[in-house]
Chain A
Amino acid sequence: MEQIELTGIRKSYGKERAVQNLDLTVNPGDFLTILGPSGCGKTTTLRAIAGLEEPDEGEIRFGEKVVFSRRQGVIIPPESRNVGFIFQSYALWPHMTVEQNITLALKEKRLSRNEVESRLLKSLEMVQMEAYRKRYPSELSGGQQQRVAVSRLIALQSEILLMDEPLSNLDAKLRTEMRAELKRLHRELEATTVYVTHDQTEALTLSDIVVVMNKGLMIQRGTPYDIYHHPQSLFVAEFIGDPRINFFKGMLVSKGERRYLDCKEFLLPFNKELPSNSGVVIAAVRPESILLSYEDRKDWIKVELKSIQPTGANTILQVQIGKVEITLMQPGFIRMNLEESLWIKFDSESLNFFSEETERNLNI
């Protein structure tokens, strides 16, 4: 288990700044996910850790060992960094069998025959691909190719594993399966892992720590729980969560003891402490934090139902108050007509407030 430490990493391609002054520490044995939209610099960061890109500035350390330092003029090439890397395309060598794919690097390292064979068997066993060792990659399904890529990574016994969107080429069902598999493997291998994805579900389900990046900057670092419940900025709030979080812009008003956000069409009551009790702010509320009622109750807001999309375990409802559209998510398979009346109530505990100018969370 090794710690990975990045300090002051910068990388530009021409005028475009891919990574801007990034500091990042991955604790030994952690599963850290870098999450962000395409072009946010996450892949560049990962490739810099592997040595496939040379940053313009900064320093990268594995434990005590400096593998890259612009200042000291230290660069250890990727060949000698001993990291495991899974590419989005799996990058299996198409002209070699599964077995050759796994053992090529081991043989190049001049390991003994017995050692190569035992590593091969063990790594194939861990991904349940023992029966396929003589096959060519083109004779395998996408999921099986993915397993071979993983087993090639296991056989190298690296202390650091890097994965670049390894699940994005799989169909939805296989993706869920492989996700569980990767999580199990990480536990068994106990390797420090950096995982890059744009899929927030993968980030939340797999990681010990999630880092959200945008435009080459690190926006937030935290546990999946924190990232989901206490997003630091509008960007994070919007990027994480499916269906998307609801935003309401309004004026802060007080009526006696109680405080509200006046959203023109309705009043949103809350009891969080805010830096100021007046002015315009943006409130964010997750679709599942809105309560739903089929009958009128006191202080509940009447809404118009616009669409209803059951996904099986949950149901997503699109409702409207005047011109404001709101997304709700309810457990269970809900069947109802669009003409029926509905009432909603916001769970004031789960509200997050953001400044309109800085777009930052007012409570953090």
Chain B
Amino acid sequence: MTSNSFLSEERSPIFSRSNLTYFLYKLVNRPHLILGAICLFVLSFLVLTPLLEIIRDSLSIQSYDIAYLPDAKIGEFSLFHFERVFTGPLSKALLINPLLNSIAIGICVTLIGVSIGTVFAWLIVRTNIRFKGFFGALAVVPYMMPSWVLALAWLSLFKNDRIGGAEGMFTYFFGIQPPNWISYGFFPIVICLSLHYYAYGYLLMSGALASVDSELEDAGAICGMNRRQRMWRITVPLLLPALGSAIVLTFIRILGTFGTPALLGLPVRFYTFSTQIYASLNASNNGDAYVLALVLIVTAITCIWINNRVLGVRKSFVTLTGKGFRSREIDLGTWRWIATIGVGLFLSATVFLPLVILLWESLIIVPGEYSLSNITLEYWIGDGSIDVVYGEPGVFQSDNILSSLWNSIRLGLSAAVFNGIIGLLVGYAVVRGRGTHLSKWLEGIAFAPYIFPSIAFGAIYIGMFSTSWGPVPALYGTFTILVLITIVKNLPFTSRTGIAAMLQIDNSIEETARVQGIGWFKRMVRIVIPLSFSGLVSGMLLTFITAMRELSLIILLISPSNMVLTGLLFNYNEQDMAQHAGAVTLLLTFIIISGSIIARMISGGFGLSALKNS
């Protein structure tokens, strides 16, 4: 009855009709393969060609270089840019100083931000601190606000007279000029970025903390460990992989951040890597900018590689879930109220205070004069009389602002919708194709935009889409290019949420529909999409928020024809129009927060509740 003979069977020739049917069937019956191949092709174009483009441009003569090399031909291969950046006399100004500044800022902000985030996560997830829900919601708000809101508020507070323009509140109330190191440069950049990025650390760490089973700690207690031993021998090692990722991911983001260093650094010629790239591109010195962008990308890749090498093997710890899972609250005792008040104060200082300052700033007539008699609504509803407001109408009267607002909303919505769809498709292709090379490549390519620092990515897209590209027309200055770059840059997040959502749906859920005679399209519409809906909505919400508040990514790509709110705000600030900048920022923050509340209401409504117990 049984036989081991694998050799005796005669096989049909490889190109026979039966074999063709067989392989064709296998292909057609694996829609995730087809989908995956299409996604891989499109994404490779959008992610890899920019990289190749940037490498090529950095290795060839650009039109700007003719001034230095009169004999060279444009487009010719040359190490000119690399020599200039790495060994030339300008190297210190172009590469070394900005790099050291960026790394110093990155290290300080990561340490401060991740520490605060971790402490908050521990307090809110594991202890009996009061107002958990409220604090938890509030701690995420800095993440939703644009990172340079704090920088703007800082300027309103501490602007001094060295740079010109009006002075800040500090000078007005105390009559002292704050020293330059407080007003501009390294110190305020670190403070403002830390107060923004702690929210990111909080998000990552609270997720990891919530997944550590209290029973593991109880087991330690039964073995005779005291509270501190349990903390250091059990909880911390379990959290280490998440902590490592939080540190690396935060660090990379800070390396590429543009808004805050630009607002607080450029006035005193304090350059970070991202502002140096911006400056080089502004001087149309693309070659140098691309070399710098490459250095940034290589740094980012190195960080991720180190993280994976050191902690990668242990990653599986974090995904500890399962039956018998429970989490017990730690009683803080008398520290409970101290912690509650401390966290409360900190959150109000980082969330409410900047908004209040900006609101006040947007209400004063003469800049630098913060008395109640100097308050007006001109900047909100005025029609722009020359003597008060530089002839610029108030926020709700200005066509310029309203059209930028509309562009921002359009950008947020379209990026969210496209990202939602792409996230769904990529997630489906990756999860259903688990174990195949295609799945691995697709997952990798979808994560790749993460390692491109935003400012560098923007720089690449200028180069790539300034002329037509095969069937793709020249997109520079169009709204489309903003949507495109936002979609691609957000791919890592949306594909993650898509994959996570698909992992929730066991294959048998779909297979059972197959055997019942329900075709692929119907299965997607009736089963896969409804089940992943809430995950998709949260992914789309994230895209919407990031797109609305994005500056670093699109600062190089905006022009009057496709202006968005963030770009407008940057311009107002450069022209020292603090009132308008404050008003626009408040408007933007208001839209982002209300948008996210609406999205949560929608996704809470269906999907999640039905999935909970299955």
Q: Which of A8, A52, A69, A95 contacts B514 (CB 8 A)?
A: A52
Among B3-11, B277-285, B393-401, the one that faces the other chain is: B3-11
Q: Which residue of A lies closest to B518 (CB)?
A: A108
Are B516's CB and A21's CB within 8 A?
Answer: no
Are A138's CB and B612's CB within 8 A?
Answer: yes
Q: Which of B6, B514, B606, B614 contacts A92 (CB 8 A)?
A: B614
Cβ of B229 within 8 Å of any chain A Cβ, yes or no, is no
Are A21's CB and B2's CB within 8 A?
Answer: yes
Are B610's CB and A136's CB within 8 A?
Answer: yes
Are B514's CB and A138's CB within 8 A?
Answer: no
Q: In the complex, how many residue pairs between chain A and chain B have their CB atoms under 8 Å apart?
A: 123
Cβ of A85 within 8 Å of any chain B Cβ, yes or no, is yes
Are A85's CB and B512's CB within 8 A?
Answer: yes
Are B511's CB and A87's CB within 8 A?
Answer: yes
Task: List chain A residues, Cβ under 8 A from B1.
Answer: 23, 218, 221
Are B3's CB and A21's CB within 8 A?
Answer: yes
Expressed in whole angstroms, the minimum distance between the Cβ of A2 and any Cβ of chain B is: 15
CA of A156 to CA of B518, assembled, Å: 12
CA of A139 to CA of B526, assembled, Å: 20
Q: Which of B3, B17, B516, B519 contacts A156 (CB 8 A)?
A: B516
Task: List chain B residues, Cβ under 8 A from A219.
Answer: 2
Are A79's CB and B2's CB within 8 A?
Answer: no
Are A79's CB and B610's CB within 8 A?
Answer: no
Task: List chain B residues, Cβ under 8 A from A20.
Answer: 2-4, 6
Are A105's CB and B9's CB within 8 A?
Answer: no
Expressed in whole angstroms, the minimum distance between the Cβ of B548 and any Cβ of chain A is: 30
Q: Which residue of A lies closest to B611 (CB)?
A: A94
Cβ of B509 within 8 Å of any chain A Cβ, yes or no, is yes
Q: Which of B18, B26, B519, B610 contacts A71 (CB 8 A)?
A: B18
Q: Which of B12, B18, B508, B611 contacts A95 (CB 8 A)?
A: B611
B1, B17, B19, B21, most chain A CB atoms within 10 A? B1
Task: List chain B residues, Cβ under 8 A from A51.
Answer: 514-515
Task: List chain B residues, Cβ under 8 A from A104.
Answer: 513, 516, 518, 526
Are A54's CB and B512's CB within 8 A?
Answer: no
CA of A137 to CA of B607, assembled, Å: 13
CA of A71 to CA of B22, assembled, Å: 9
Are B18's CB and A70's CB within 8 A?
Answer: yes
CA of A77 to CA of B5, assembled, Å: 29
Cβ of A89 within 8 Å of any chain B Cβ, yes or no, is yes
Are A89's CB and B508's CB within 8 A?
Answer: yes
Q: Which of B19, B514, B607 contacts A79 (CB 8 A)?
A: B514
Are B12's CB and A77's CB within 8 A?
Answer: no
Q: Which of A52, A73, A94, A105 contacts B518 (CB 8 A)?
A: A105
Q: Which residues, 160 to 219 on A, are CB-close (under 8 Å) to B? A: 162, 217-219
CA of A8 to CA of B515, assembled, Å: 23
Q: Which residue of A lies closest to B614 (CB)?
A: A94
How many chain A residues touch B (CB < 8 A): the figure is 49
Q: Which residue of A lies closest to B527 (CB)?
A: A93
Cβ of A57 within 8 Å of any chain B Cβ, yes or no, is yes
Expressed in whole angstroms, the minimum distance between the Cβ of B607 and any Cβ of chain A is: 7
Cβ of B530 within 8 Å of any chain A Cβ, yes or no, is yes
Task: List chain A residues, Cβ under 8 A from B516.
Answer: 104-105, 108, 152, 156
Q: Which residues, 329 to 350 on B, are CB-close (under 8 Å) to A? A: none
Are A95's CB and B610's CB within 8 A?
Answer: yes
Are B511's CB and A54's CB within 8 A?
Answer: no
Are A52's CB and B515's CB within 8 A?
Answer: yes
Are A87's CB and B21's CB within 8 A?
Answer: no
Are B506's CB and A108's CB within 8 A?
Answer: no
Are A84's CB and B515's CB within 8 A?
Answer: yes
Are B20's CB and A79's CB within 8 A?
Answer: no
Q: Which residue of B lies closest to A88 (CB)?
A: B508
A-side interface mostly: mixed
Q: Which residues, 495 to 515 on B, are CB-close (under 8 Å) to A? A: 506, 508-509, 511-515
Task: List chain B residues, Cβ under 8 A from A81.
Answer: 515
Are B515's CB and A85's CB within 8 A?
Answer: yes
A87, A136, A139, most chain B CB atoms within 10 A? A87
Expressed in whole angstroms, the minimum distance between the Cβ of A363 and any Cβ of chain B is: 17
Cβ of B475 within 8 Å of any chain A Cβ, yes or no, is no
Are A105's CB and B513's CB within 8 A?
Answer: yes
Q: Which residues, 526 to 562 on B, are CB-close (under 8 Å) to A? A: 526-527, 530-531
Cβ of B390 within 8 Å of any chain A Cβ, yes or no, is no
A73, A83, A218, most chain B CB atoms within 10 A? A73
Task: List chain A residues, Cβ under 8 A from B509.
Answer: 91, 93-94
Task: List chain B residues, Cβ under 8 A from A218.
Answer: 1-2
Q: Which of A75, A78, A82, A139 contacts B21 (CB 8 A)?
A: A75
Cβ of A276 within 8 Å of any chain B Cβ, yes or no, is no
| Per-residue contact bits, chain A 137-165, to B (CB 8 Å; 1 contact, 0 not) | 11100000000000010001000001000
Cβ of B25 within 8 Å of any chain A Cβ, yes or no, is yes
Q: Known contacts being A94-B531, A94-B611, is A79 close to B512, with CB within 8 Å?
A: no
Q: Which residues, 16 to 39 on B, are CB-close (under 8 Å) to A? A: 16-22, 25-26, 29
Are A91's CB and B508's CB within 8 A?
Answer: yes
A8, A23, A92, A108, most chain B CB atoms within 10 A? A108
A77, A82, A83, most chain B CB atoms within 10 A? A77
Task: List chain A residues, Cβ under 8 A from B612.
Answer: 138
CA of A10 to CA of B3, assembled, Å: 11
Task: List chain A residues, Cβ under 8 A from B89.
Answer: none
Can you show 21 pairs from A to B with CB atoms below 8 A apart? A8-B9, A20-B2, A52-B511, A57-B9, A77-B514, A78-B511, A78-B514, A78-B515, A79-B514, A89-B508, A91-B508, A93-B531, A94-B531, A94-B614, A95-B606, A95-B610, A104-B526, A108-B519, A138-B613, A138-B614, A218-B2
The 10 A-B pairs of least Cβ separation, nearest first, read A73-B18, A138-B613, A73-B21, A105-B516, A94-B614, A91-B512, A91-B508, A87-B508, A85-B515, A75-B25
Residues of B within 8 A of A (CB): 1-6, 9, 12, 16-22, 25-26, 29, 506, 508-509, 511-519, 522, 526-527, 530-531, 606-607, 610-614
With A51-B515, A105-B517 known, 8 other A-B pairs at CB within 8 A are: A21-B5, A73-B22, A77-B25, A78-B514, A83-B515, A94-B614, A138-B614, A152-B516
